[in-house]
Every structure is written in C-alpha cells, then in structure tokens.
Structure 1
Amino acid sequence: MHKRLDTGESTVIFFEANPFASRLHVLQPLVAGASETCAHASVLMPRRESGPDLEDFVQNVPSGARIQWVDVSRIPRLHAKVSTRTLLRMLVALRRIAGGKPTIVLTSPDDYVPHLWWIAIALRVLTGRSSLAMVRYRVADLHPGRPGNLRAAVKRGYFKLVQGILRAHLIVLDERIPTGPRIDRIPDPWVGPFGGTNREESRTRLGWSQSAKVVALVGRQDDRKGFDVAAKALLSEPGLFNLSELSIVVVGAIDEQFKAWNESLIRQFGERYSQVTEFISDEELALVFSASNVVLLPYHTQFTSSSGVLVRAAASGTPVVASDHGLVGWRVRAYHLGRTFPYPDAVSLGKAILEVLQSEHDESEGLRYAERSTEEATSRAFAAIIDRIHR
C-alpha cells in the first residue's frame, strides 16, 4: 500500500497527527519552505473521507512537495484527538517510507501530548539517525516569566524530556521565547490581500460614509472573544454613546449566549449597528479592515495564543484595542499596534476605544511587523532552519 519514496538525503517528512482546519494554515507555509530547500517534502497525515479545508490545503501544496497519505479509517471527523492505534499505524507507515536520512517534523505535538513520550521513543527507534524537529504553536509553558506556575513547569519538564529523547530541534512562532542552540523562531504567518487599499477607497467600495467612526469585531464571537465585554463598553462609555458618527460592524456569527447583548446594541445604535453573517471573500474582508477606524480584540484570559485578526489589522494600517494578556497583548504593545486594556474591565475598554478614535495612529511599525510575518517570510525562515539542522 505504501510505496517507498526515493527520499535521498534531503527529504522533509511532516508528521501531522491532527490535520484539522485550525492547523492547516500554518502547515502549508512550512511545507512550502521545505520544498524550497529540499528535494521534496512529504506530509504524513491520516486520510479522511472528506473535508473542504483538507481538500483546499492539498490543492494549494506547492508542486515541489509530495503528500504521503496514511490510509487510516474511523478517525472521528470533528474530534481533536486521534487514537493510540491510529498513531501507531502512522508511525509504522512512517518507517516504511522513510528511506535515506530524512528530516522529520512533528507539527502540533501539544495536540497528542498523552501519547508523546512513547511516540518519541518509537520515532527515535524507527527512524534511526534522522534529524527531528518539533513545531509548537502553544508555548505558554516556555515563557521565562512564569516560574511559579506549577502546571506550566510540569509541561515544560515533560516537553524537555521528550525533546531530549528525540534529540529534536524546537521551532516556535512566539517572539517572547528566547532562542538557543536547539530552539529557533519563525514568523507567525498570514495570507490574503490585506492592506491593498486605503481607508477612503475601501469605504467608497463598501458604500460607507467617509466621516463615520467605525468600530469592528471580526470572526465568530464565542466565549473566548469577549463580545459581552465589548458590548458593555460600547453601551456604557458616554463618549462613545454620544458620538453621532459612531458605527459598529460585526463580521461573523454571534453565539446564542450573547443574544441579549446583541439585542441591546441593536436597540441602542439602530442603523449604526450592522452584522454580516453571510460568507464574504478575503477581498471583501480586506476592505472591512482597511475601512474601519479600530478593530476590537477583547479576548478572554483563556485566549493566550496568536490572532490572525491582529496581524491582518496591522497589514491594513488599522489600530486595535486588545486585552493586555497573552501573545496578542504583548504584540500590540511591542509593535505599537494600538491600545491594550485589562480584561474584563469594560470601562477601560470603552476609554481605550475613545482614545483610538480621537487620535492619529502611526501605522509604520505595524506594517513592518506584518511584512516580517508574511507566508513567504515564514517559508524562507523555516527552510533555512531545516537546511541547517539537516546537515
């Protein structure tokens, strides 16, 4: 069933145990980066019966990369974990195709942590002298500023043990993590036509008033996105309440639990409040980003990782107001992308929104940050790391 690939000495094999949509946008540029410097790359992931996100990923894999499917059945379609049996079959399949001395990249190892210790041992036994790397996206346990967090310390020790067994190189996408002999950083990538038009042109194409002060929330408003805090701020801050030019735009669905807050905003702002629930293209979304005066990111404290909304706002030259914790808060402060506030303080959020609307925003540093984080920049950085550790 599995053909032995003519791998030679420069293959990169991606071991992706959780190939769902939330990971594919990161995996794709890594594969692109591998194909730039290597003879070819293989992606080892379970086959599913269907899935538009996976099919879209396959169609967009660069021609220099090959996908090595592992035909494993009965993987729960919407389940975040895979079974031990599935992982074992993937490891055996990996052994069958791993000719020569390939470099093997484990993506999203946090998603199969319970199995990781024996996967590390099995990989080291089955792949011999191959070079291994782990790409981790959620790395809160590695932050030097969290020594008193017992859970983080346990996780940090566990991954250090696994990394030692694998003799693996760690690759992260978080600028707060210090690099070292066996740890590197790559940019957190984004794609899309964002930043292609200025505010005036974008508003003309959308039919928006040129004088409006537009506050935008982008993406599904669930319990992690802080929609209730945003609504409370917009309804209670007198300076916003009395601002006749204020318009509020929500692009995405709003969870049922926030129905009362949504109805309050509709009653209060009337025609100045709008929600877009139907699908819009990246081109249309880019116009919304460029046309807005500020984008809100009042994320819950449970939200500690990256945000695609943040970097797209930066690429569009639009400031944000974000919660002050986690990677998002750090990037807003480090790259001067707008204002932060202490979640869930709605009063502070309302004042921060008003400050942004009443001041000029210097977009230059945000544009530089977005330029450093393009898909092409991620590919180049990843290719250089793989080329170095493969030797």
Structure 2
Amino acid sequence: MKAIAIIPGTTNLSLIDRPEPQIQADDEIKIKTWYVGICGTDREIVSGGRADAPRERNELIIGHEMFGQIVEMGSSVTKVKLGDFAVFAVRRGCGQCTACLNNRSDMCYTGNYTERGIKGADGYQAEYIVDKEQYIVKVPEPLKDIGVLTEPMSVAAKAIDEAIRVQAARLKDFDDPVNWLKGKKALVAGMGPIGLMAAFALKIKGAEVIGLDIVDEDSYRPRILKEIGGTYIDGRQVKVTDIDEQIGQIDFVFEAAGIAKLQFQLIDTLGINAIYMATGIPSDKHTPAFDGGTLMQQLVLKNQIVLGSVNASVDHYDQAVHYLEKSLKLWPNTIEKIITYKFPYTDFDAALHYHSADEIKVVIDWRL
C-alpha cells in the first residue's frame, strides 16, 4: 500500500510502499482510509521538528487526524460492524501507570506513551490502518464529509469537559453544575481549527462566544464565527488587557493560539471564579516579560483557575462526534466550511506545504 513517511529530524518526506496491514488478533479492526487532516504538528514534523519513528524503523508514517470505513474486523469486535465509518484515537498508553491502565493515556503519568504519526508509532497517512477495538470511535454516516474533524474537536471537547468538571465541583453549592456554561462569557483565543471547534462546542453548550485573533474582521475565519452567533475581536485593534473593559470579564478562556506572551496576557481577562484552559503549545521557548505579581494577585483574589489540556481520551472522541452531529444539525452550511482544501494523496507535498490566507483545515484524500 501507499503511505506518506518522513525520516524524523529531516525534511525527507516521500510517498512510500508498505505491506498492507493485516488483522492479527480477534480485537483488531481494519479501516480503509478516506481522509486524514493536516495540522500544525504535521507541518512541524515535515519541517524537521519533533517526531520519533517506531523503534524498528528509521522512518515515520505521519498523520493523526484520520477518518475511514471499516472493511474487516476480528471475531470479538462488538462496538462497530463492517461498513461503519469510524476514527481511531491517537495516543497509546505506557502500560504502566494507573491512567493508561484505565484507558486514559491522555493523562499518562510516565510520559512513555506513543502517539500514532507523532511519537514512536506509525500514523494514519496510509491507504489502510489496523488497530485495536479499544481505540475506535464510530462516526455516523451523515458525518462522513466532516468526520475527519473528530480529532481536533476531541481536543476542544476534553478541555471544555475538564473545565465543566472543575467548575461543577467547586461552584456546585451556588451555580448550575450541569449547565454551567449556559449564559457564560467564553473567550476563544486563536481562530484556527481547534479554536473554531471550541467555538462550535461552546455555542452548543449555551455560552456567549467571543473569538480573538489577528485577522481582518471580514476574513474567512471571523465570518464562520459570526455565522454561528459568535462575536469577533481583532487583537490588533484591541489590547488583550483591555478586553474585559470592553466586553466585561470572562468566565471561561479557551486558549488555542500557542503564543506564550498572549497566553499570559489572557489571564487579565478572567473574571471572578473564572477558569482558563490552555491548549496551545508555544514554539518559542523564551519566557516573555510580564507582571507576574499582578497576575498571581489576581488569581488568588478572584478565585481563578488556569489549566493545561492536551490530547483526548476515547470518551472525548465520543463527545466530539456528538458536537459534530449537533453542529451539522444547527449550522449545516457552516461546519463544512472548516475543511477548506482537499488534496489527493499523490499531491501530499502541496498539501503539507501550501498555505492560503483563508486556510483552516487541509485534508488529504485517500479514496483514490
């Protein structure tokens, strides 16, 4: 079969031939790949950035945002059936810590997990994929055109789920723990794929969504935000530290920009008892200058929480599918706009290196 692979630490990206994977155990499932999304991690990898090949090889098949159709499965599989559409989750546990032993590799204690297409395990940019039933999530047939968005939506789903759980635990005596986000102000910083996925999910949860980026208000991403009822702030026109003065203090910050200076500045927007979820990973390792005393004073006096969130569990993938179903029902002509470009796998180089001002999600099509 064909696959897209790289020698980690280099820019040697190529279309290779690999033996087609076969089912070896009763709990395994084989999927014919339809689409694989491209994200910033993929582009970092193909630029020579962080990635690890499997131990037995010097090359890594890239790709972790997959979607496809089941063509074969082992005799013990019960979660899906032949012909179903589905996705596999990304991370595989260390097999040692309590989190991984409970199928929560997204919370691995040891750091010895693997991630398909990223760290120590081949990814999904290939014609066929075989993996275990415990990592599969069924995607309903009506979502077949946007099912590839499940992985980025799962990142948003986990961050939102954790925020709700934390707030429900500490505010349960005087706020609604079930519908905590309803009517709350949520600021989404970074209108890329994950930020926009968060905007859709937060609107579904009943939040008042404000998007923050540094693009023109009439450009593609802010227009999508407005179509689902969100409002937009151009960070070039309004200082981040002035946002709370303009629109009031924020109950929930969802950070998806990955810019260290901005990440610290966003704390200033938080209101009393507010929570901040950071999902972006800054590429710049230098610590920006900021008034740490003032920020820490605010965190203490206003009972605020700042959390980091990465990856997602299989349960969060299920939540992501639910959010996509609701989004397709509520905004059928909008959620589809997140996928801005599709390239056949034979044009993989253009897909991974081509950038447009209006790009949100680029997808490689393996249906040839």
Using the size of structure 1 for normalisation, the TM-score is: 0.29
Q: Greater strand share, 1 or 2?
A: 2
Q: Greater helix share, 1 or 2?
A: 1
Using the size of structure 2 for normalisation, the TM-score is: 0.31
Query: Which protein is bigger by CA-based radius of gyration?
Result: 1
